[in-house]
């Protein structure tokens, strides 16, 4: 059977909207801030150097998160933890703090007051799950909410959260012999626009089913799985404490509270390529820390169990800074 291409005019429109939202959401995160406590939170900084390209390579190898499209002839921007800032000081590397981490909800409150010309209304974790539940309750014939942590008998996250998905299909309560498609968002906590893209997709598939022939055809022929938040601990922490937080909340030093040494970059915790020197940092204090071992995190383990069960033929994993479209490895069947 020839599988219908998932990128239709509807999804192309969604991708265009995605890139527009990426720009506005990044501006919101980098907005001028009122609180000044760089000791405990992450920061956006500008590093000045006479040879920035060489320094970028050095810091990248050390696990720093460099914003590559900001590189100029005299410097570049990076998002750093307090420990990384301390290391920069000790090594005599000059930088200035552009934006200090603070609760994202404060930025949203400022947006609601009209202080900044970017869209307000980003939901917290509880409201995202509630909205997913509402879609399932309001469209029971084509939309069903799954607690994937319970479904696959997986461990809860560090903070006791579960991972959720909605399934959208014409016979949603039946496991049909149809190709399965996955849309997943928010492996990185601070990429706040990505859950909105996923929720928008759920809205389109449920509200336009039966009236839009393209959407109706997709829902009839596919099992569509959509996971708006794959890093619930990190997203919640970003929303209510540090808008520059990226990783999950693994307690790496087991001191009972969140600090620079905590968290794993879930996106770099998957087994494929984990042992490569380019797959992430081995330092727990790094923004790109790949974890103590491959698939060490419950989020990663749940995704692997989910994928092994569903055998997805197509996957979109939304991120919101690189402004790139990356394709997976493909093989030619002879």
Give every residue of the chain whose pLDDT is below 70, as ranges: 1-39, 112, 114-119, 329-334
This prediction has a pTM of 0.85
* Whole-angstrom distance, CA of residue 264 vs CA of residue 243: 16
Determine the pLDDT at residue 32. 37
Say if 9-29+119-318 and 43-100 have the same CATH topology: no
Instruction: Give whole-number Cα distances, 293 to 89, 274, 286, 289, 299, in Å.
Output: 30, 8, 15, 11, 14
- If you count them, how many residues does the chain have? 334
Q: What's the farthest any 2 CA atoms get from each other in the chain? A: 63
42-96 pLDDT, tens digit each = 999 999 999 999 999 999 888 899 999 899 999 999 999 999 999 999 999 999 9
Structure-token match 């790496």, residue found? 252
The β-bridge relationship of strands 180-185 and 314-318 is: parallel
* Domain at 43-100: CATH architecture: 2-Layer Sandwich (3.30)
Residues paired with 183 in a beta bridge: 226, 316
* Whole-angstrom distance, CA of residue 223 vs CA of residue 314: 11
* Whole-angstrom distance, CA of residue 254 vs CA of residue 263: 11
Name which of 135, 318, 123, 156 is nearest 236 in CA terms: 123
Domain 9-29+119-318, CATH: 3.40.630.10
Domain regions of the chain by residue span: 9-29+119-318, 43-100
| DSSP track, 186-248 | -SSTT-THHHHHHHHHHHHHHHSTTTSHHHHHHHHH-EEEEES-S-HHHHHHHHHT-TT--S-
Q: Is residue 181 a contact partner of residue 3, using CB atoms and an 8 Å limit?
A: no
Determine the pLDDT at residue 215. 97
| DSSP track, 251-287 | -TT-SSS--TT----GGG-SSTTTTSTTS-BS-TTST
């Amino acid at each position: 059977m020839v599988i219908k291409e998932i990128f239709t005019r509807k999804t192309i429109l969604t991708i265009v909207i995605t890139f527009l939202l990426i720009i506005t959401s990044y501006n919101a995160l980098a907005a001028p801030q009122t609180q000044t406590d760089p000791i405990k939170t992450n920061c956006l900084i500008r590093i000045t150097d006479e040879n920035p390209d060489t320094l970028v390579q050095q810091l990248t190898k050390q696990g720093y998160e460099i914003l590559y499209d900001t590189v100029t002839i005299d410097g570049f921007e990076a998002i750093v933890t307090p420990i990384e800032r301390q290391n920069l000081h000790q090594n005599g590397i000059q930088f200035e703090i552009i934006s200090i981490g603070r609760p994202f909800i404060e930025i949203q409150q400022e947006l609601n007051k009209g202080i900044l010309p970017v869209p307000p209304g980003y939901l917290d974790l509880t409201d995202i799950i509630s909205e997913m539940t509402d879609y399932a309750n309001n469209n029971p014939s084509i939309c069903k909410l799954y607690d994937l942590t319970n479904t696959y008998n997986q461990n809860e996250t560090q903070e006791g959260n579960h991972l959720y998905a909605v399934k959208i299909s014409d016979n949603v309560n039946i496991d049909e012999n149809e190709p399965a498609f996955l849309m997943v968002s928010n492996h990185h906590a601070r990429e706040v626009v990505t859950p909105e893209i996923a929720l928008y997709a759920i809205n389109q598939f449920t509200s336009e089913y039966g009236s839009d022939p393209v959407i109706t055809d997709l829902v009839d022929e596919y099992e569509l799985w959509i996971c708006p938040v794959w890093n619930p601990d990190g997203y919640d922490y970003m929303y209510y404490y540090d808008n520059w937080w990226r990783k999950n909340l693994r307690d790496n030093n087991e001191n009972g509270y969140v600090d620079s040494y905590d968290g794993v970059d879930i996106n770099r915790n998957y087994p494929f390529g984990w042992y490569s020197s380019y797959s992430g940092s081995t330092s727990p204090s790094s923004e790109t820390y790949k974890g103590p071992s491959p698939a060490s995190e419950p989020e990663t383990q749940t995704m692997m169990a989910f994928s092994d069960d569903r055998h997805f033929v197509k996957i979109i994993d939304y991120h919101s800074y690189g402004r790139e479209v990356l394709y997976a490895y493909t093989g030619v069947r002879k």
